[in-house]
Amino acid sequence: MAKHAEKIAILGVQWGDEGKGKLVDLLSAGFLNVVRFQGGNNAGHTVVVGGKAIALHQIPSGVLHPSCFLVVGSGVVINLEGFRQEMEKLKALGIEVLGRLMLSSGAHIILPYHIALDKWRESFAGRIGTTGRGIGPAYETKAARIGVRLGDLQNQHGLLERIANLHKEIGLIMGGQEALPSPEAVLADLNSLSTPLLPCIGDTHEYLFNSWKKGESILFEGAQAAMLDIDHGTYPFVTSSSCSIGGLFTGTGLPPKALHKVIGVAKAYATRVGEGPFPSELDGPIGESLRQAGHEFGTTTGRPRRCGWFDAVMARHACQLNGADGLCLMKLDVLDGLDRVGIVKEYRHKDSKNVIGSPFSIREWDNIEPVIEYFDGWRQPVKGVDKWGGLPAQAKKYVKAIEEFIETPIAYVSTGPDRETGLLAPRSCLKGLL
């Protein structure tokens, strides 16, 4: 496909795992640059090519297209051992990453101390259910201005001292440094892991600014999703980065006017991993059948995902937050065979029964009673359908109802895990790009 000049962001509007990887992989063929701008190896983007699933955690999902240049912005936190493993897995598939990769010198490094602190905290009651990858602590030391950045590996003046300070501080929090590797050992590991990457570390802001000015196409790949956003999600049951639109600008340094379109991504139902509010959760057999049919087990941790009906209140809120021009609705085929399918169309207060919007405080979520509208299921499966006209009438009705409830046009409907399976919706803003 010929390259164009568009700059498009792909952002999750639920609790992550919406299928952003498939979409980015699909769109990447037409883009010169694919950019990650927040999150770390807590993300797990599965792309399926020729029936083979590949899980990506830190490397942008555009990697499967050899013509894509891959950029990791300063808003990302990096696990160097994870990065090495991912590059090796790709190499075994004949996919080379070095030579078409740029990592921001400002991206913070996840150290073993961060991982230890994350796991230590998660051992107490009131846990968040994190991925245990050290993401929160890495962003904490970034904000405290005591973190270690990729650029520090190129000029190591004072680096050992910084690592030693973190060793001391995190050791104190955890009540002992014994279990933590020594600063010298950590630095030695960082040096050996980063050796092949050193030529790729640079000023990604400058690179992206120049790409924008040259009129090159750029695809921005979000990780996690709006409801896990540190500011706008279901705090404290969130991740530690800005997973909605704001994070794109801080995590790349590009201004809002560099962007043409924002595409939200949601599953045709909802899932969540870890603790926290989930008003449309289905605890019983329907939830279990969605989990099995949708293979709803975490790409990063293997944990079973909680499953529920599509929550239009939440998705509308997230689309508004991101200024979404369109929504890609993924995994519609997982609903094949159900007698009926539900959509949460509003929230009501448990006692007063008044309609309320998406709550801001965690305590308010306890007062939510979801109002669910049910639609007939479809007998003829949607799996593999590749044209809007090929969808059964009930499935069209369901998709159109979502479009109406969330006040955002549906752009694309995915009808199977493979790259090829899906269709453009009638009002799609992705026409000409997919």
Which residue numbers are catalytic?
17, 45
Residue 242 neighbours by CB under 8 Å, 6+ apart: 38, 75, 229, 230, 231, 250, 251
Q: Comparing C-alpha atoms, which of 342, 202, 335, 228 is closest to residue 281?
A: 342
How far CA 358 is from CA of 136, 190, 344, in Å, comes to 25, 43, 12
Measured distance between the N- and C-terminal CA atoms of the chain, rounded to whole angstroms: 9
Sign of the torsion angle spanned by Cα atoms 15, 19, 21, 26: negative
Under rule CB under 6 A, residue 36 binds ligand IMP: no
Q: How far is the CB of 130 from ligand IMP (least distance, A)?
A: 4
Helix (H, G, I), strand (E, B) or coil at 405: helix
One symbol per residue from 136 to 155: x for binding ligand IMP (CB under 6 A), - otherwise; what is it? Answer: x-------------------
Taking CB under 6 A as the criterion, the residue among 135, 200, 218, 413 binding ligand IMP is 135
Q: How far is the CB of 105 from ligand IMP (least distance, A)?
A: 23
Under rule CB under 6 A, residue 86 binds ligand IMP: no
Q: CB-wise, 44 or 342, nearer to ligand IMP? A: 44
Q: How far is the CB of 227 from ligand IMP (least distance, A)?
A: 9
State which of positions 352-411 bind ligand IMP (CB under 6 A): none
Under rule CB under 6 A, residue 46 binds ligand IMP: no
Neighbouring-strand partners of residue 137: none
Q: Comparing C-alpha atoms, which of 112, 57, 43 is closest to residue 88?
A: 57
Under rule CB under 6 A, residue 77 binds ligand IMP: no
Under rule CB under 6 A, residue 304 binds ligand IMP: no
Please identify the residue of the shown chain whose CB is closest to the bound ligand IMP.
274
Under rule CB under 6 A, residue 17 binds ligand IMP: yes
Distance CA 81, CA 78 (A): 9
Under rule CB under 6 A, residue 280 binds ligand IMP: no
Taking CB under 6 A as the criterion, the residue among 20, 22, 65, 133 binding ligand IMP is 133
State which of positions 207-236 bind ligand IMP (CB under 6 A): 223-224, 228
Q: What is the DSSP string of 27-80?
A: HHTT-SEEEE-SB-TT--EEEEETTEEEEESSS-GGGGSTT-EEEE-TTBEE-H
Provide the binding-site residues for ligand IMP, judged by CB under 6 A. Answer: 15-17, 42-44, 128-131, 133, 135-136, 223-224, 228, 237, 239-240, 273-274
